[in-house]
Each structure stands twice: as structure tokens, then as C-alpha cells.
Amino acid sequence: MAEKTIMLCCAAGMSTSMLVARMQDAAKADGEDVEIFACPAAEADDKLAQENVSAILLGPQVRYMLDSFKQKVSDKNIPVDVIDMQAYGMMDGEKVLKQGLSLIK
């Protein structure tokens, strides 16, 4: 089991799952031991209850949920950020991986 876990949340989970695959490839190439998974924002509560999440990245299409996510995990000390829109649009797994890892101290 990886010591770091990055959860990506988006509207439905389709395009984000492709980004997860690219992030996993980048993590493997960089020698990073990190678990990365995607889920629809509607399932985030269940995933947070089941998984030991280190950081949450929101897809640009659900950026309006940033404040509610921050409140949701404020007692768990889990950082939340919105995926860089350009990196998301280009499916830049390396850049999004670095963004997620930068949240984890």
C-alpha cells in the first residue's frame, strides 16, 4: 500500500480516469510510491470513509465545490485544490501529479 494517496474528483469520472492513468505512468517513471484514483464528486464522502486520502484534486468542472470539500475534510487535515485547467485539458499527468504531491507535506 502506498503511503500517499491522491483522490481526483470530477463530475462523472470519465475524463479524469484517463488523467489518473497518465498520472500513474508519471509516478512510476518518477519512482513515486503514490496511489491515485478518481471518483465522481457525488461518491467522495464514501471514498473518504473507505480510503486514507492524502490530498484531493478537483476537476475544473467542479471547481465550484472547492469550499464545500475544504469544509468536508477540515477536521482530517486533507489539502484540497483544483486541477490546473491547462494541465487537465492537455491530460498532463506529470504536471497534475506534481500538483497533487506538492499538497502533501
For residue 24, give the H/E element and its range.
helix 14-30
Could you confirm whether 9 is annotated as catalytic? no
- Taking the C-alpha atoms of residue 27 and residue 50, their distance in angstroms, rounded to an integer, is 23
Catalytic residue among 8, 9, 10, 44: 10
Q: Could you tell me which residues come within 8 angstroms of residue 101 by beta carbon, excluding any fewer than 6 positions away?
A: 4, 6, 32, 34, 55
Residue type, 57: L
User: Could you list the active site residues?
Assistant: 10
